[in-house]
Structure 1
Amino acid sequence: MAEDYYSTLGISRSASQDEILKAYRRLARKYHPDLNPDDEKAKRQFQAVQVAYDTLQDPEKRKLYDQFGEGYEAYRNNPFGAGQAGPAGFDFREAFEKSEGFQFFDFFKDAASGSQASGKSQGSSARSRRSGASSRTSSFESDPHQPGDVAAEIPVPLRIMVEGGEVQFRLNRGDGRIEDLSVKIPADVSPGKKIRLRGLGERNRSGETGDLILTIQLQPHHAIKINGNNIELKLPITLSEAIYGAKIDVPSLGGDVTIRIPTMCDSGKRLRVKGQGLKGPNGLRGDMIIEPLIQLPEEIPESLGPVIKQFESTYDKNLRDGIRW
């Protein structure tokens, strides 16, 4: 019997998102392999904690887990369901670097989650359906004149979308057949781009084999999203960086770039790095839009209490005065 995720983290089923994060941080520190070298039990426990956190910190995954209980593992491994098993979508540093100056990891590199030399992304899951059949997982209709065609979506890391490369994925055809396939992604593609793989569809009534039509989607990432040809990045900064300003190295498509955080920078302010977005139909690249987000430490020493109270007095107006229904 699989251990209950709530029990793994030592929390109640009604725990808040903040309680889930605190439990994860505590247990991840306790069982982290760097602190427990050659301890296989600690390694297994650390992996279990990551899997539990990866599910419970996501409201949609948590809802499914609460619904399916022990059957969630089988549901999660079904490409028609919640996606690939394992905590690959979560980076351990994300939960710990917020209050330690935050060294933002190279998401253009790490997002590939495979061999950097080959550009392969392991374990993606494509969800398919035949033309004319109803499905809640596909976002577009196949050509009704090609009944043998199969439609599927495939998540692709940002770096491969820009540089091109090979993505390996698992296709569930819906009748019990599961196939491991690969596709070469050309450089400079955008979400929504369709790739046709000849002869990998289903056999129609005439005996002809249709095609597999893949729609490219950006592999989900906690800090980035695509908006047209622009790449939007949420960049955590410390309180002191927000007040006094700072120069921060940020990874981009062309390598690290140094951006300047202005003094008295509020969360939500948008900074633009020209030419670091995706290439558009006109051959010109969009921009990278950086949104600084002030991250407070998890705990503040009591000795700083008087200073914080004094800091509060520097506001010259009610911040919520303009909020009216």
Structure 2
Amino acid sequence: MSFIDYYKILNIDKKATEAEIKKAYRKLARKYHPDVNPNDKEAEIKFKEINEANEVLGNPENRKKYDQYGENWKHADEINRQQQQQRQYRSSGNPEYTQSSGSSEDYSDFFESIFGNQYSNSQRGRRVAFKGQDYNAELQLELNDVYKTHKRTLTINGKNIRLTIPAGIEDGQIIKISGHGADGYNGGPKGDLYITFSILNNTNFKRDKENLFSKVNLDLYTAVLGGEITIPTFDGKAKVKVAPGTQNETQIKLKGKGFPIYKKEGEFGDLFVNYHVVIPKKLTEKQIQLFQELSKT
């Protein structure tokens, strides 16, 4: 297998931080995404390379293996075990190997290149199973998208994966879909798929887990005299009574009008609303006289 320089693919330095890797991946993924480059085969190939690079460098454990073993990073765990067994072999002459049926000529040369002639012909009849590579993907959604549970189809390495996205999923949350990674080796299990959610908030609401926060303008007359107003909620509107003498930045709570609670069907957080009392800038002469009279009392 030829060596792939994932750092070069993402245009980053080998000393790049996790944040720099994520930033570089997002930038390139947007640039070469199939939706942006329809029917562009070169862009499609580039997009797959970028995702593959992120699957390795975006995972600290995979990155460490890649930096140490290069093209053989997928076999790092087995290499370490074999090295330990070789040390036991040198000291005791009785290394422990896992015995299984069949032939593994594909891996004999691989291990001989690492351990030299000590990987003798007697070990050629043994095969080692490897779990397939894990895949990492990022799914970008808007806040409105995750207000309700819905289904979505993702295309990962040419395969369509249908998944259900629960309402209330959070920005940066990672879910694992078992068995949707790369095929295993020598009968090993498939890898897993890890999806990181990037939630864009283009609404007037601020979200903190299941609670929402917003600001509502309140005219001076209603703040002083009280009354009833209509307040926007995430999925509609609600009528609220305003107490006389309401002060600026008074906060009220609308129970159950917040965001869905993750994996708790039918349960919602609360909506917290801060009143912003608006002072009128242009008054008629009559209004000025009335305010002057009020000030005297």
TM-score range for the pair, normalised by the shorter chain length: 0.3 to 0.5
Higher helix proportion (structure 1 or 2): 2
With the length of structure 2 as denominator, give the TM-score of the two structures: 0.42
Larger Rg: 2
